[in-house]
Each structure stands twice: as structure tokens, then as C-alpha cells.
Amino acid sequence: MPVIDVNSIPASEVRPYNVLITGFGPFSRYAVNPSWLAVKPLHNTILTIDSPDEPVIVDDQSPTAEANSFTQDTRDIHLSTLQVPVTYEDVLAIVPGLHARPPVLPPSADPDLPDIMLPADGFDLIFHVGVAGRGPLRMERVGHKFCYNMKDATGSLAPIVRVTREENSNSNRGQSEPSEMERTERARLSEYLIESPVDGTEPPKRGFGKGYESFAEEIFTEIDVEKLVHHLKKVGVEQIYSSLDAGHYLCDFIYYCSLAESKRASGKADKSTTKVIFLHCPPVDQPLSTEEVTEAIKKSVIWLCGAAAKSAIPST
């Protein structure tokens, strides 16, 4: 895939934001995943935002001429999309490459889509989308490391995690009962649940093991999800709320993996270069149409890139 060298962009031009949006592939009764239906129309599109409109104040004086000229610019957002298979193996194989510089992406699963122009210095935002049950949109706040006890679209299981007895005891001690949302999702995906062993023993711990030992059991996105949801409601996306339970299935799995890889790529445990977010959408027309979900994604990306631009304003 072609690589964009941002160093070759003329100084007079404002560097674009580069955003990757992923949806999932076929799964269960979905010959085309509702998340991919909403994501696909955004491939190789460009959105535009105004540069930060707050003037830069230096030593409590009036805004400088340079600051005023800066606020008059606009900035493009380059959107690319990728379909990810609904398997643990593919998530583990694909997601680390999304956070490389330049990114490494697999061939498109959709032959109708042109190649992605890969940014040499990586994506600024990776926006994952997956399908859940009937209901509003859910903007997820946290990804989980363990408890992936459902089979993927090929009938395969998440990797077994080898832990010491002490680690397993500590993990179980802090484990809460499944939320109502998770119980609903598990009922919907009951055909993929692992059956308990006949001898009554606990099933093995499954999730992220080798290579992810240093990462916490929960990783929260650095994005202020509550502010994002509040903004979306103000601009007409009323059926949306924030969530702390991404479901302990492939949606949760890709979210945790992407959050961890973002931190790994930045080399920092407390701050990532590439921001990561996950949105759960309902099946088509239950109650939102595909077009409404696509519009919600666009509005989210514009707000997120606008917030990033404002946070980049110099301060003294």
C-alpha cells in the first residue's frame, strides 16, 4: 500500500489528521456485518475541521498576529477503513501493525475498496466499530485483558493465559459478577459460549498472555468519552451512551489489544501517540439505520480531531 510521507507536505499546508476506522467481517447471521456496513462508506473520504479558534495568549497580552492567522486555517481529516475478521487469531495478527510507523495492514477483505494511503508517521486516531444487540449506540471506555470465554466466528477460542496460582487468585478476587449488558450479550451469543467442564472445574483463563504481561487487566481509553457522548447528543445523536462493559468478546478483544499496542508503540505507559476508541452499533434499524450510524461516526471523528487540535495549542 502507498505510504504518505508527511515530511514532503509543503510547510504552507496544514498536516492532515489520519484516521483509521475498522469494522468487523461476516459473523453468525450477518453475511455483511452491520458495523462494516456503517464503516465502509467512509473509506478514502476527507472531512474538514476548522483549526483551533482559541487565540494564543502570550504573557497575558493580546493575541499575536501569528496566532490570529493560525486560527483562520482549516485542517483535513483523511479517513481509511479496514474490515477485520471476527477471530481472535486475526485480531492478534492485525492490530499491532495498525500502530506501526508506517502502519502495516493486511490486504483488504473487500475487493471493491481502493488501497489505503498509509501515513508514514502512523494514524492519529484508530476508531473501532462492532455490532452489539438491539438498542442505542454504546461508546466504550475500557478494554479487558481476560475472561474471553466465547468461541469466535470460526469456532476457535482465545489463547490460554498461563498465570501463577497467586496471580489467578488475585484476579479472581477482584472479579465482579457479569453486568446486565454482558448477560444480554452472552444470551445473544449463546451458540458461541464454551461449555463448562463436566467435572465442574474452572475453565482455563483466556485472553492476553505472552507479550502483554506488563499491561494492566483493564485499559481505559485516553479519550474523554463522557464529553464525546455529551457533544454527540448536542448535535443530534440522541441514542448513545457511554459504557464500561465491551462484552468480553471480539469487540472487547480488539479494543484491549489496540489500546495496549498504542501504548507499546508510544513507549509510554501513561500516554499514547495514537488515540483509540470503540463504538458498539446495533443491528440495522434496531433502532438506528446504517446511515445514522455512519453519521454518528463522522461526527465523533470531527469532534475528536477538533479536540486534539485545541489541545495542541501552545501554552505559556
Cell numbers linked to 32: 455483511
* Residue 281 β-bridge partners: 131
Closest CA to 308 of 149, 77, 89: 77
Cell numbers linked to 122: 502512523
Q: What is the pLDDT of residue 60?
A: 41
Q: What is the pLDDT along the chain (316 residues), one digit of tens a residue?
A: 665 554 455 444 678 999 999 999 999 899 999 999 999 999 999 999 875 544 433 334 444 444 444 444 689 999 999 999 999 999 999 999 999 999 999 988 887 888 888 999 999 999 999 999 999 999 999 999 999 999 999 999 999 998 655 445 444 444 456 666 666 666 666 556 665 555 556 778 999 999 999 999 999 999 999 999 999 999 999 999 999 999 999 999 999 999 999 999 988 777 778 999 999 999 999 999 999 999 999 999 999 999 887 776 443 3
Total Cβ atoms within 10 A of residue 237: 20
- pTM metric for this prediction: 0.83
**C-alpha to C-alpha distance for 162 and 61, rounded to whole angstroms:** 60
**C-alpha to C-alpha distance for 254 and 20, rounded to whole angstroms:** 14
Q: What is the pLDDT of residue 53?
A: 46
Q: What is the pLDDT of residue 272?
A: 78
